[in-house]
A and B are shown apart, each in its own frame.
Chain A
Amino acid sequence: MTVIEVRGLTRRYSGGFEAVRGVSFEVERGEMFALLGTNGAGKTSTVEVVEGLSRPASGTVSVLGHDPFWERSLVRPRAGVMLQEGGFPPDLTVTEAARMWAGTLTSARPVDEALSLVDLAHRAAVRVKQLSGGERRRLDLALALLGRPEVLFLDEPTTGLDPESRRNTWELIRSLLREGVTVLLTTHYLEEAQALADRLAIMHRGRIVARGTVSEVVDAYPSRISFVPPTGVPLPVVASEDGAGRVTVRTNSLQETLHELLTWAHANSVELSGLDARSASLEEAFLAIAEEAA
């Protein structure tokens, strides 16, 4: 079942700037779809329309079969939203902020349960203004989960979290996905998308420039082998120098090329010091896409 469907979405700001230029994607039930992109690529502008905060200039958006802007009252009770920047009154305690939010919901889970989910139960009596940046993010996530949402919008959910909290948050999101919650994620952390997303799209200047599963996106980019070349011997493969004494070989068949290189080194009794061979990561694909598109 398709939970989120975006067709030909464009968004224009007053002044004529076109932030989103014809974006289409869909997200199935229980799936995580990640929207990645450089700053100003149009991710948040896109997500705001899907959340029902803004109207598109053209195109259609459907969430759980309804228009999120015009049929807000049908969509919101089933959706949870964590904004990139959202706030709570600094002088309320964590529990008070959560109670306030729970009071606005059609059906809320117990406040204690939501706080426990994000490991904030021990901070329940603390004022919001005394929380760390990471704790504030987790409070925001707890509130997004208070209404037992079927669809979850997460905009930079782990910014400011320490590595352990980030892992715990990832575990929590995975368990939600297993329960069938549909998640639309936007993030700067490419490893986060790599770890969690079923499918993703990379945006640049308002358009989707690459999409697919993580491996589909990554496989389009060459693997890399880098090392300090032995002196006085011509290499058997094409390599580019990085200026710091190392060379990099780019290849679409890592195993073949690496085998060729190692066989050659063995036969010539030369050392490839600092040898490093890796498949393309999402980060490399992302950087290459950003570079190509620039």
Chain B
Amino acid sequence: MRTVAVGQAELKLFWRNKTALFNSLILPLLLVPALMAADADGVPLVIGLTGFVLLMAIYYNLVTTFVARREELVLKRLRVGELTDPEILLGAALPSVVVALGQMALFAVIVGVMTGISLPSQPWFLLVGVVGGVIVFVLLAAASSAFTRTVEMAQVTSLPVLMACVLGSGLFFPVSVLPDGVGTVLRLLPLSPVLDLLRAGWDGGPVLRPMIVLALWMGLGTYAVRRWFRWDPRR
């Protein structure tokens, strides 16, 4: 697979980027003691951490990666080669996706051992949630990069998606305390269907609606990338 050539180069760059390395490998390890001390139910904790990884290791990390490669003129150069546009984006996203999946597995194992949670009864829903979530947040990162002038600006331009997802997903407070109308809207945010599917993976529950919402976000993300993604630097 020729897109792997880009992924390998991107992985080398990842190892050489101290900030990315710290954020992806050290920061999660620092969270472990806090997790061990937490007196929370195991399953919600694993689900919350998975959402956190999707937002930080995939979404935020990739907004900065896409912007950096664009401003370095790397995307422009790659685009005159043989790779197709999706292959270029996939290659650049590959290491972040691998690291994110590793983090999810690590958190699940640690929390699982600490709290002795049961294995998911419907692992397929779990898989659909994780894979769908990865795809949606890679697409959203690519779309957000179009509105981000510099790597530093990513801290600001990523906020709307980050805040909306964190507040709307029920990670910090249950959505059920909100008025009905607001709750319905929040369930349409991109992270919500992922978490619904993860919950369904353990406890069962309705999956049709979150799957539809997730599919809509994939469609919307694909449209946004095709419409707005920039291969040339923003000047």
Contacts and interface: CB of A to CB of B under 8 A. Distances in A.
A105 B3 CA distance: 10
Contacts of A105: 2, 81-82
A92 B12 contact: yes
B5 A87 contact: no
A87 B77 contact: yes
Q: Is the interface of B mostly helix, strand, loop or mixed?
A: helix
Nearest to B80: A81
A153 B81 CA distance: 12
B2 A89 contact: no
B9 A97 contact: yes
A89 B5 contact: no
Given A100-B9, A103-B8, A53 B16 contact: no
A199 interface: no
Contacts of B72: 87-90
Contacts of B17: 91
B82 A104 contact: yes
Nearest to B91: A104
Interface string B203-223: 000000000000000000000
A102 B6 CA distance: 10
A101 interface: yes
B76 to A, nearest CB: 6
B73 A53 contact: no
Nearest to B78: A104
Contact of B9 (A53, A76, A81, A89): A89
Interface string B60-90: 0000000001001110111111111000000
A96 interface: yes
Given A73-B84, A104-B81, A105-B81, A83 B76 contact: yes
A256 interface: no
B13 interface: yes
Interface string B85-119: 00000000000000000000000000000000000
Contacts of A53: 79-80
Contacts of A86: 73, 76-77, 80
Nearest to B74: A87
A268 interface: no
Nearest to A106: B82
A99 B5 contact: yes
B130 to A, nearest CB: 28
Contacts of B2: 103-105
Contacts of A31: none
B4 interface: yes
Interface string A105-131: 110000000000000000000000000
Looking at A83, A90, A99, A104, the one whose CB has the most chain B CB atoms below 10 A away is A104
Contacts of A87: 72-74, 76-77
A51 interface: yes
Contacts of B80: 51, 53, 76, 81, 83, 86, 153
Contacts of A106: 82
Looking at A73, A86, A102, the one whose CB has the most chain B CB atoms below 10 A away is A86
Nearest to A100: B9
Interface in A8-61: 51, 53
Contacts of B82: 73, 76-77, 104-106, 147
Contacts of B76: 83, 85-87
A100 B77 contact: no
B73 A96 contact: no
A83 B233 CA distance: 14
A103 to B, nearest CB: 2
Interface of A: 51, 53, 72-73, 76-77, 81, 83, 85-92, 96-97, 99-106, 140, 143, 147, 153
26 contacts: A76-B80, A81-B80, A85-B76, A86-B80, A87-B73, A89-B9, A89-B72, A91-B17, A92-B9, A92-B12, A92-B13, A100-B5, A100-B6, A100-B8, A101-B81, A102-B5, A103-B2, A103-B5, A103-B6, A104-B2, A104-B3, A104-B78, A104-B81, A104-B83, A106-B82, A147-B82
Interface of B: 2-6, 8-9, 12-13, 16-17, 69, 72-74, 76-84
Ranked nearest first, the 5 interchain pairs of A and B with the lowest CB-CB distance are: A103-B5, A87-B73, A86-B77, A81-B80, A100-B9
